[in-house]
Structure 1
């Protein structure tokens, strides 16, 4: 993940490198990009959770989902 700042000095939403997270990469197959803002990733996980292979989540991806849920779902993922 990287953090960047807007020109105004406000902190931008952190982005996620999709290739590091296999399930997220599959969920975002139609997006021809390598990075995604964290808030969009959380929304995508929520919307497409039925397609996530939860039995085979990597430790990194599980940690990412927990982080996103805490930050953008106020501790709850609506699936």
Structure 2
């Protein structure tokens, strides 16, 4: 997984409010999810986005998802 289209993931799109890039590297997406998790309503996550977060956590976070 290299680049992620932020418009396919509503919560990711929301937490990237200060960026205009459409494609984001997977590593950067994972970092934003961790750093801005408090702004995400978990109940609103789509199944597709939950799967993305799971995959990123497994591959980039080595099984760890650390929120700040």
Name the SS for the 1:36 alignment partner: strand
Q: TM-score, normalised by structure 1?
A: 0.82
TM-score (norm 2): 0.94
Instruction: Please give the secondary structure, in 2, of the residue aligned with 1:32.
Output: coil
Q: Which residue of 2 aligns with 1:45?
A: 33
Per the TM alignment, residue 45 of structure 1 is displaced from its structure 2 partner at its CA by 0.3
The structure with the largest helix share of the pair is 2
Higher relative contact order (CA 8 A, sep 6+): 2
Structure 1: stretches of 5+ with no match in the other structure: 4-13
Alignment of 1:1-79 (within 5 A): 14-79=2-67
Q: Structure 2 unaligned runs (5+)?
A: none
Structure of greater Rg = 1
Deviating 4+ runs (over 6 angstroms): none
